[in-house]
């Protein structure tokens, strides 16, 4: 079965078209003879098909989610308090993703809860995922949430940790991306 990866822009690059073209030599000579004109003018110019494709690519890339912040605490043996992810005060739609894994299980049992907090329409909101209770070093969890966030309000994460017996250790990776609608 074949599958294709969607392109970030609809038209293919014009690979059969030359990327540069020689300028109009009369215009180039006139520019060089002008008083104060730079003597190192570009000898070649980009062709229209390439300029159009690169312009379209630039526009398309503006709609791709952009990483705003990330964190990756490791060897954790306690809860992580409310930790703000920097957003430069921007509002809008974000994508929050975490990946948590138990690296050293507790001798009896353990639990880990990841929580996201943010403000939407002036109301403080939070999303707490179900507890991760598998107590083996193969226990992992990864989740994604799409908060709509007010300007100049924090987006934060925290964990709630519990361990019975010898301490459980865990690692956490969080990524915050902004999404253009």
The reported pTM is 0.71
Q: Which two tokens stand for residue 57?
A: 């690519």
Rounded Cα distance between 5 and 122, Å, is 39
Rounded Cα distance between 118 and 181, Å, is 19
Instruction: Catalogue all structural domains in the chain, each as residue range(s) with its CATH number.
Output: 20-61 (no CATH), 66-179 (2.60.120.1400)
- Name 42's Cβ contacts closer than 8 Å, sequence gap at least 6: 23
> What spatial distance separates the first Cα and last Cα of the chain, rounded to whole Å?
32
- Among candidate residues 5, 17, 19, 12, the one with its CA nearest the CA of residue 57: 12
> Of residues 55 and 104, which shows the higher confidence score?
104
CB atoms closer than 10 angstroms to residue 147: 19
pLDDT band for position 2 (cuts 50, 70, 90): very low
SS3 for 53?
Answer: helix
pLDDT tens readout for residues 149-176: 999 999 999 999 999 999 999 999 999 9
The predicted pLDDT at position 28 comes to: 65
CB atoms closer than 10 angstroms to residue 85: 19
SS3 for 180?
Answer: coil
């Amino acid at each position: 079965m074949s599958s294709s990866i969607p392109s970030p822009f609809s038209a293919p690059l014009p690979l059969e078209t030359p990327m540069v073209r020689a300028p109009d030599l009369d215009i180039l000579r006139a520019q060089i003879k002008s008083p104060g004109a730079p003597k190192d003018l570009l000898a070649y110019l980009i062709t229209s098909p390439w300029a159009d494709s690169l312009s379209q690519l630039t526009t398309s890339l503006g709609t791709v989610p952009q990483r705003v912040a990330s964190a990756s605490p490791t060897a954790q043996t306690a809860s992580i308090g409310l930790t703000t992810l920097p957003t430069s005060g921007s509002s809008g739609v974000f994508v929050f993703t975490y990946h948590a894994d138990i690296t050293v299980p507790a001798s009896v049992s353990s639990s880990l809860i990841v929580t996201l907090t943010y403000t939407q329409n002036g109301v403080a909101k939070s999303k707490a995922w179900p507890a991760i209770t598998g107590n083996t070093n193969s226990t992992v969890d990864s989740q994604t949430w799409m908060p709509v966030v007010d300007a100049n309000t924090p987006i934060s994460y925290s964990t709630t940790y519990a361990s019975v017996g010898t301490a459980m250790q865990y690692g956490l990776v969080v990524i915050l991306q902004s999404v253009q609608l």
